Amino acid sequence: MRFNNLLILLVLFAFGLLYAGDRDRVQGPIMIYDNGFVPTGVDYWAGGGAGIADANNAEVLFYNPAWKARTKYTFLLGGVRQFEKRFFLDQNLEVKMGSLWLLPSHLLLARQFNRVTLFLGYQNIYHFKQKFRMQIATVEHPEGTGEFISNTEDQNIQNFFVGVNRQIFSRLSLGAQVGLARFYFSGRMGYGKIISDPAYSYTLNFGLNYEMNDRIQFALAYRYFEPLTYKFKLSAPLINNADSIVYISKESKRPFRLPWFLDFGFHLKPADFLDVMFKVEYQEWQKIASYYPNRLHMAFGASVKAAERWQVRLGAFTGGRFPETKNGLEDTPFLTVGTKYRLISGLTISVSALSNIFFIKKINDKARQIERSQILFGMQWQME
């Protein structure tokens, strides 16, 4: 019992310490893209991302390390396809975002030892890809010369982690996860090339899971990403007086920051064929820039057992981004749907889709709506 009390105090102390430290690290405004977060877990996101207390879904381990394993061995594998988004701010500027296969987008192995579960894994937690073409304008041709210059940007963060959870009492579990995050940035600015050295940081997840009875569970989870600073080099051609081209390089530093998340989840099983899930998430956006208000994000989900081997999931959630007050993006909810099929005992395959439409506030007559969607696929294998 002394060990259990010590573990509880350690988790509570870590929560308070990390929160207090964030308040001191607030710096100037850093651009954070709303579409950068990559969903992890096919079944999890098919239910709107609400299932952090879902007792029957091992994918919860990516978000709540206190999830109590039901089998001795667990293997998860998944990928995601992000579809291209396009919008126009004016007649001379075209912007595209996304459009990438991430395979695998997540991978996890878990092993249960009596009341303790150990797990390790990989996840692509952030990806942002942008390409835009801008028409060249000059003093002589302020409306544009008919020539276009293209800029691209590609940012990725992969997280390699290990975790542990322990059943403290008969119905309470605590868990912790620590990860090594690798950041990489590349792109082009016109005729210049941008490339960064890999930058590294760490991630921390803490969670608890309380099983009130066989049909009701509660969960609390905290996710943290330590800010990092990466170096990047811009190499661009320069035409000198002799009409020859030389390349010059300039090295710069830039910080990268993500908000931390505090989640509360509820899971209810009103019937043998139906599961209902709810989650509320607090996002600390003031860690990014002091003038951003912090934000609540809510998610709802349901799982229906359609047949002996088939399961259907539905969900919805708010986008969880900060809507700009001027010339920004108006946020609308995501809708999710997915299906799961059990091939043999313990082995299932899943497919789910996320879809969302949101709008640019009307800047001019050329403003367009943005459509954003993703398809996820995965496999889950649990063995006694």
Per-residue pLDDT of 235-262, as tens digits, reads: 877 666 556 667 677 888 888 888 888 9
List, in sequence order, every residue forming a beta bridge with 359; answer none if it has no partner: 330, 369
Model confidence at 367, in pLDDT bands (50, 70, 90)?
A: very low
> Given this model, what pLDDT does residue 262 score?
92
pLDDT higher at 214 or 276: 276
Are the CB atoms for 78 and 106 separated by under 8 Å? yes
| Residue type (1 letter), 188 | R
Least confident of 117-121, 192-196, 291-295, 379-383: 291-295
pLDDT higher at 201 or 236: 201
> Given this model, what pLDDT does residue 293 score?
67
Model confidence at 360, in pLDDT bands (50, 70, 90)?
A: very low
Mean pLDDT of the chain: 78
Residue 139 DSSP class = S
The torsion defined by the Cα of 38, 152, 133 and 333, in degrees rounded to 10, comes to: 10
- Of 6-20, 316-330, 369-383, where does the model show the most confidence? 369-383
pLDDT surpassing 50 at residue 121 = yes
Using alpha carbons only, give the angle 14, 204, 286 rounded to the nearest 5 degrees. Answer: 80
In angstroms, rounded to a whole number, what is the distance separating the alpha carbons of residues 181 and 21?
19
**Helix extents (H) in the chain:** 2-24, 42-46
User: Torsions phi, psi of 99, nearest 5?
Assistant: 65, 80
Strands 192-196 and 199-211: unpaired
pLDDT surpassing 90 at residue 61 = yes
* Among candidate residues 338, 350, 279, the one with its CA nearest the CA of residue 304: 338
- Of 100-114, 130-144, 224-238, 365-379, where does the model show the most confidence? 100-114
Q: Which residue segments constitute the domains of the chain, with CATH numbers given? A: 2-383 (2.40.160.60)
Least confident of 70-74, 226-230, 242-246, 352-356: 242-246
- Of 174-178, 195-199, 231-235, 237-241, where does the model show the most confidence? 174-178
pLDDT surpassing 80 at residue 274 = yes
pLDDT surpassing 80 at residue 313 = yes
> Given this model, what pLDDT does residue 47 score?
93
- Which residue do the tokens 């649990």 mark? 382
Compute the average pLDDT of residues 343-368. Answer: 67
| Residue type (1 letter), 340 | K
> Given this model, what pLDDT does residue 297 score?
84
> Given this model, what pLDDT does residue 95 score?
61
pLDDT surpassing 50 at residue 337 = yes
> Given this model, what pLDDT does residue 295 score?
77
Compute the average pLDDT of residues 187-212. Answer: 88
| Residue type (1 letter), 229 | T
> Given this model, what pLDDT does residue 321 score?
52
pTM here is 0.82
